[in-house]
Amino acid sequence: MEKVCVLGAGSWGSALALVLADKGIEVEMWTRSEEQALEISSTGVNSDYLPEIKFPKNLKVTTDIEKAVNGGEKIISAVPSQAFRSVCRQIKPYINKGQVIINVAKGIEKGTGLRLSEVFKEEFPENCFVVLSGPSHAEEVARKIPTTVVVASEDLNIAEDVQDMFMTPEFRVYTNRDIIGVELGGAFKNIIAFGAGICDGMGYGDNTKAALITRGIAEISRLGVEMGAQLATFSGLSGIGDLIVTCTSMHSRNRRAGILVGEGKSIDEALEEVKMVVEGVTATEVGHELAQKFAIEVPITNAIYSIIDEGKDPKTVGIALMMRQKKHEVEELIKVK
């Protein structure tokens, strides 16, 4: 029986660990927190993230990162995107060339603008990398609510191996060769979800949200294709699928933080109240920078950036967004390379 290591005991890492443990796979989950490790080991409950779920006995937890990764055929990284490089460097002394890293965080490294697969290649040039993404709230996956995701890798055989490892009657997995598109869809949807929350906090309705989702995927696609992704990927699970679920659900921390900003709270107050990492804040900063670098028009991203980083009034920004120069709807996508 293979052993799988999960780095990170937050909601998503815990949910995926549960999927595997329920299949009889030996899972060892690493956390920095001694208190969290003690609670899970003694009670079988992760009260901070999945308080209503009981962990099976074959799901172990440790604060010893060397012990966690030692002997694991596959290592799932479920740490926040901005901590990814740091954790890679922590595990580097204990990793061998045959181990496969599966990243499940959705983000782009701040400061470098690198996708996490690019960060990984800098740290582990000889190991295989897989990204898992798609519309998948941890709270629902842990409760075995039917969910579909996608795994992407440059090596399709490795992607299919990971697909087989995760597949259950409640957790369906597709494969995709377009690792760039899968990563960018997962990262940039957090920007639009934050904006959707702002609209909800301001009391706007379904019309507004439908417009935001539709025009949001258009600008994600424009920027993504310019960065090397395939256009079709953004019509799939890691594109429009993830965008829909993150913009509409209260499970979404990005939407929840946006709601608080739309209600009049500062960005710092919103982040303090959500109490979890809100990837959309960093994603907005990075997306804004990348759009400038590649000279791609991203009006929604720029609008959200002006609210988060420049402190502009959401209502004023929304009016300016609506009153931009008139355009055709489809021709800009046709022009995408």
What residues are labeled active site?
Answer: 189
Structure tokens at 205: 């309705």
| Helices (H), ranges, the chain | 11-22, 34-43, 65-69, 84-91, 116-123, 138-142, 156-166, 179-201, 206-226, 242-248, 253-262, 267-274, 279-294, 299-308, 314-322, 331-334
d(CA 262, CA 267): 10
DSSP β-ladder status, 147-152 and 128-133: antiparallel
Task: Compute the distance between CA of residue 296 and CA of residue 335 in angstroms, rounded to an integer.
Answer: 12
| Assigned token pair, 175 | 């494969």
CB 155 within 8 A of CB 131: no
- For 261-289, give one letter per residue: b (16+ CB within 10 A) or e: bbbebebeebbeebeebbbbbbbbbbbbe
3-state secondary structure of 5: strand
Rounded (5°) CA angle 18-20-24:
105
Question: H-helix or E-strand containing 101?
Answer: strand 100-103
- Residues 238, 151: Cα–Cα separation, whole Å: 9
